[in-house]
Amino acid sequence: MQSPMPLVVILATGGTIAGTAAASTDTTGYRAGALGADALIAAVPALADHLLESESVAAIDSKDMDAATWQRLAARVAHHVARPEVAGVVITHGTDTLEETAYFLQRVLAPAKPVVLTAAMRPASALSPDGPANLLDAVTVAECAEARGVSVVFAGAAWAALGLRKVHTLQTSAFAGSDCGPIARLEGGTLRRFRAWPGGEALGLARIAAPAQSWPQVEIVLNHAGADGRLVDAAVASGVAGLVVAGTGHGSTSARLDAALERARAASVRVTRASRCAFGPVLARDARDGEAAGELSAVQARVELQLQLLGTR
């Protein structure tokens, strides 16, 4: 007997993959999130014989991603993953905050089935859009019986969320991992796997159940030549619960920024030390250092700190 076709649910959130411009030659001046999931699927003839369902969760440019949308998205992903007939979920998203959403979903849901985020650098109306091939590859991973956890499929590779970064403003190979390569490559519809799919324990939907407007505020500050810590003092005065400092090199901060961070800690503000470098971890050296971001980029460390703070309420 033939095994049944795997069912994949496609959740659309917007982004350039669903963007349209007035001219096919325009790859920067377009409206993100203009097309729904059905239009994205229809643009990929090879998806015609796949078993797909689709749903729109949002239609935004991902620069505007926020906690309320994450709550909605996580709830819909959890709903579909729990359906026995669903093999996996694909999320179409903008590239700009993709690494944050992917990390958020992995920490909250750590799904036992594949949940695959994908995106595009060129709008759907471009002369040669990259979205259709990325969507087809994402569906391939979502249908894969051995895949699990949240991954990002982009430009022929599947990446774990941890440490993933958008590294280019325009090129179609816009993502790179920190010190690890991709989980797998997709070549002509075939998956060549190099490392394990993401695992770990889920924090659970209860962790993110508080109204989005009440989530603890966590901001990112940067060390740079002349950094004097005044933004840290202003953030503390405005009531932030946490700060991520994107330090220089291995997370270092100027003497004046360091002093301001010390004042923040004394005011019970949690501080995570990350780096403004494109790649490489920030390791904990001693207790005085505060919390180190490890492999996480500064923006992912912000998500992690917010999730931890939600767990201390």
State the minimum distance, in angstroms, from the CB of residue 63 to ligand SIN. Answer: 6
Judged on CB neighbours under 10 Å (0-12, 13-18, 19+), 85 is: exposed
# chain residues binding ligand SIN, by CB under 6 A? 12
- Is 57 among the residues that bind ligand SIN (CB under 6 A)? no
List binders of ligand SIN among 32-51 (CB under 6 A).
32
Pairing mode, if any, of strands 7-14 and 175-176? unpaired
CB 244 to ligand SIN: min, Å:
21
Whichever of 101 and 140 has its CB closer to ligand SIN, that residue is 101
User: With CB under 6 A as the contact rule, which of the stretches 56-64, 146-154, 224-232, 247-255 interacts with ligand SIN?
Assistant: 56-64
Nearer to ligand SIN by C-beta: 70 or 197?
A: 70
How far apart are the C-alpha atoms of 51 and 7, rounded to whole Å? Answer: 5
| Angle at which helices 230-237 and 255-266 cross, to 10° | 20
Q: Which is nearer to ligand SIN, 62 or 71 (CB)?
A: 62
Tell the smallest beta-carbon distance from residue 303 to ligand SIN (Å): 16
Binding range to ligand SIN, per CB under 6 A, among 11-19, 108-116, 148-156, 269-277? 11-19
Site for ligand SIN in 121-140 (CB under 6 A): 121
| Closest to 203 measured CA to CA, from 165, 145, 150 | 150
CA torsion sign, 94 to 91 to 208 to 199? negative
Q: Tell me: does residue 219 bind ligand SIN (CB under 6 A).
A: no
Query: Does the active-site annotation cover 248?
Result: no
Name which of 19 and 290 has its Cβ closer to ligand SIN. 19
Q: Which is nearer to ligand SIN, 69 or 140 (CB)?
A: 69
Q: Given candidates 9, 15, 91, 160, which one binds ligand SIN under the rule CB under 6 A?
A: 15
Rank residues 169 and 214 by Cβ distance to ligand SIN and give the closer one: 169
Rounded distance, CA 313 to CA 293, Å?
A: 22
If one asks whether residue 119 binds ligand SIN (CB under 6 A), the answer comes out as yes
- How far are the Cα atoms of 43, 97, 98, 119, 290 from residue 114, in angstroms, in the given order? 23, 20, 16, 16, 34
Whole-Å CA distances, 179 to 20, 165, 282, 295? 35, 11, 12, 8
Which DSSP category does 161 fall into?
S
What would the two tokens of residue 119 be? 């995106």
Binds ligand SIN (CB under 6 A): choice among 61, 99, 137, 291: 61
Q: Which amino acid is at 267?
A: A
Applying CB under 6 A, does 94 fall inside the site for ligand SIN? yes
Nearest to 126 by CA among 93, 170, 88, 168: 170
- The amino acid at residue 164 is L
Q: Find the shortest distance in angstroms from Cβ 112 to ligand SIN.
A: 28
Q: What is the nearest approach in angstroms of ligand SIN to the Cβ of residue 96? A: 3
Options 35, 86, 96, 244; binder of ligand SIN; rule CB under 6 A: 96
Should residue 62 be labelled a site residue for ligand SIN when binding is judged by CB under 6 A? yes
* Torsion angle, alpha carbons of 280, 281, 283, 289, to 10: 90
Q: Which two tokens stand for residue 40?
A: 């994205």
Q: Which is nearer to ligand SIN, 94 or 290 (CB)?
A: 94
Binding residues for ligand SIN, per CB under 6 A?
Answer: 14-16, 32, 61-63, 94-96, 119, 121
Active site residues: 16
